[in-house]
């Protein structure tokens, strides 16, 4: 009889107050259920994502703990919504980064960060991916410093890698001798050469320069819109920085029409094997990794003037005689 009275009293209490207290006789007035404990927690239903998604007609506010995929607490509000935790955020960030990487791989453009933290935009040309800004590194890939050499006599006597600003002016572009391109950092023949380019990138070969040249020609980047002959200088040259030229098709001839390819070759000029500087505003010169025999190194250049028979103002010119390795010129990077 006492048990029946107790049950009736409990049901009456719930009917009157619509509240339940566990380990408390005074549940908060705002709570339908209050659980008081300093040793244990509340364990709500645990289930897999498939089981959660199979609940028929879930009410808004329903809560469960999902035990697989994106593990954590979920509540229903016209659809299952996670109560965001670190695990969920980390996985979402990873998923988003994967999507970004896939988009970049599809459009094949983006930003490269080198070993010194410098950033470079890159673009796709056919099957190649090139930086569209000149190299700025001051160390090799492994962090070994590349000396900055300002003195002309010292530059002229170098047989190892070095860099400088044009005219030793930090507002100008960086120029590298070929020894830096080749990673020759000391005069010990038994020491392995370094890598100048960041991980995943390299200095373009002569063959890779030719592939770029051919791609631009056949895709209509000649200044006269033809698809034969090498007349791509204006399409590759920057829209500023060039001295005025009267040669039709030269970068300095109405240079606002330049750079339709977005390659953005800026005329930083060169440093000679004697250590002097020349051709700022008239030449954008770039190393390749190729050499002829044991001496000359190949390079490609865009120039504002004709030097016949080989070098033309409207062309991407190949240094037919081979470049002197002591010269200081610009560097571009191509993706492995």
pLDDT at position 2 over 80: no
Per-residue pLDDT at 92: 79
Averaged pLDDT for residues 36-44 = 90
Quick check: 137 and 128 in contact, CB under 8 A? Answer: no
DSSP designation for 172 = S
Per-residue pLDDT at 93: 85
Query: What is the overall mean pLDDT for the chain?
Result: 89
- The Cα–Cα gap between 74 and 140 comes to 50
Quick check: 328 and 276 in contact, CB under 8 A? Answer: no
* pLDDT interval class at 28 (50, 70, 90): confident
Q: Assign residue 326 a region (left: φ > 0; alpha: ψ between -120 and 50; beta: otherwise).
A: alpha
* Helix boundaries (H) for 167-240: 178-182, 206-218, 233-236
Per-residue pLDDT at 140: 98
pLDDT at position 317 over 60: yes
Q: Which two tokens stand for residue 142?
A: 């492994």
Per-residue pLDDT at 11: 43
Radius of gyration for the alpha carbons in the chain, expressed in angstroms and rounded: 34
Averaged pLDDT for residues 49-64 = 94
Residues 6+ apart with CB under 8 A from 309: none
Per-residue pLDDT at 220: 95
DSSP string, 81-118: EE---HHHHHHHHHHHHHHHHHHHHHHT-EEEE-TTS-
Averaged pLDDT for residues 244-254 = 95
Residue among 307, 275, 335 at smallest CA distance from 128 = 335
Per-residue pLDDT at 302: 97
- The Cα–Cα gap between 15 and 9 comes to 10
pLDDT in tens, 77-127: 999 988 866 777 787 788 888 787 767 666 678 999 999 999 999 999 999
Q: Which two tokens stand for residue 283?
A: 């030449």
């Amino acid at each position: 009889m006492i048990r029946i009275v107790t049950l009736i009293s409990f049901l009456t209490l719930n009917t009157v107050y619509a509240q339940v207290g566990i380990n408390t006789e005074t549940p908060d007035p705002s709570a339908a259920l209050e659980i008081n404990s300093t040793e244990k927690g509340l364990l709500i239903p645990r289930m897999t994502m498939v089981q959660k998604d199979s609940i028929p007609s879930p009410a808004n506010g329903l809560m469960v703990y999902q035990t697989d995929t994106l593990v954590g607490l979920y509540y229903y509000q016209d659809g299952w919504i996670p109560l965001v935790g670190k695990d969920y955020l980390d996985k979402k960030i990873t998923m988003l980064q994967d999507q970004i990487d896939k988009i970049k791989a599809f459009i094949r453009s983006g930003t490269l960060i080198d070993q010194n933290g410098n950033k470079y935009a890159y673009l796709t040309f056919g099957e190649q991916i090139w930086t569209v800004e000149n190299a700025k590194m001051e160390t090799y890939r492994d962090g070994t410093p590349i000396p900055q050499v300002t003195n002309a006599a010292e530059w002229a006597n170098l047989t190892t890698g070095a860099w400088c600003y044009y005219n030793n002016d930090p507002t100008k572009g960086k120029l590298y001798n070929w020894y830096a391109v080749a990673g020759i950092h000391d005069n010990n023949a038994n020491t392995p050469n370094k890598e100048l380019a960041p991980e995943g990138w390299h200095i373009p070969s002569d063959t890779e320069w030719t592939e770029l040249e051919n791609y631009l020609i056949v895709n209509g980047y000649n200044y006269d819109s033809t698809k034969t002959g090498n007349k791509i200088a204006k399409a590759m040259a920057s829209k500023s920085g060039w001295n005025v030229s009267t040669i039709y098709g030269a970068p300095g001839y109405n240079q606002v029409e330049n750079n339709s390819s977005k390659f953005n070759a800026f005329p930083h000029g060169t440093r000679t094997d004697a250590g002097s500087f020349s051709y700022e505003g008239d030449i954008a010169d770039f190393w390749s990794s190729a050499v002829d025999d044991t001496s000359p190194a190949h390079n490609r250049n865009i120039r504002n003037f004709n030097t016949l028979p080989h070098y033309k103002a409207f062309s991407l010119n190949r240094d037919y005689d081979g470049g002197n390795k002591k010269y200081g010129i610009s560097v571009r990077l191509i993706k492995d």
